[in-house]
Amino acid sequence: AQSVTQPDIHITVSEGASLELRCNYSYGATPYLFWYVQSPGQGLQLLLKYFSGDTLVQGIKGFEAEFKRSQSSFNLRKPSVHWSDAAEYFCAVIRSDAAGNKLTFGGGTRVLVKP
């Protein structure tokens, strides 16, 4: 079974500092990869996704993510965080070689932004 691991449950970062959120998946082939953000009390918003091609993916709100096949990772980064980036972030994957529609989420990383 595929699984998605986000090792950091909480991250605290100062406003203006850089941010990196880790995501690893356990699955043989390259899956479809996603990052979602959830602000308090809100639904989920797609930040970016990777299917194939260039391994550095640009998303909305200044986020980017890099797919590294050798490490089975898809880490999310932002060079300079804003107070509005405080939220919970979820990595998610879909098996590209399987039928169906199983989007599997990691446990999430909650980001706190210090002034």
| Interface contacts to other proteins, rule CB under 8 A | 4, 6, 9, 32, 34, 42-44, 46, 49, 51, 90, 92, 94, 96, 99-108
State in angstroms the smallest separation of the CB of 30 from other proteins.
Answer: 12
28 vs 100, beta carbon nearer other proteins = 100
Judged by DSSP in three states, 101 sits in: coil
65 vs 92, beta carbon nearer other proteins = 92
4: phi then psi, degrees, rounded to nearest 5: -125, 130
54: phi then psi, degrees, rounded to nearest 5: -55, 125
State in angstroms the smallest separation of the CB of 16 from other proteins.
Answer: 28
As a residue count, the chain comes to 115
15 vs 49, beta carbon nearer other proteins = 49
State in angstroms the smallest separation of the CB of 84 from other proteins.
Answer: 19
Name the token pair of 44: 């989920």
Instruction: Burial-class residue 70 by CB neighbours within 10 Å (0-12, 13-18, 19+).
Output: exposed
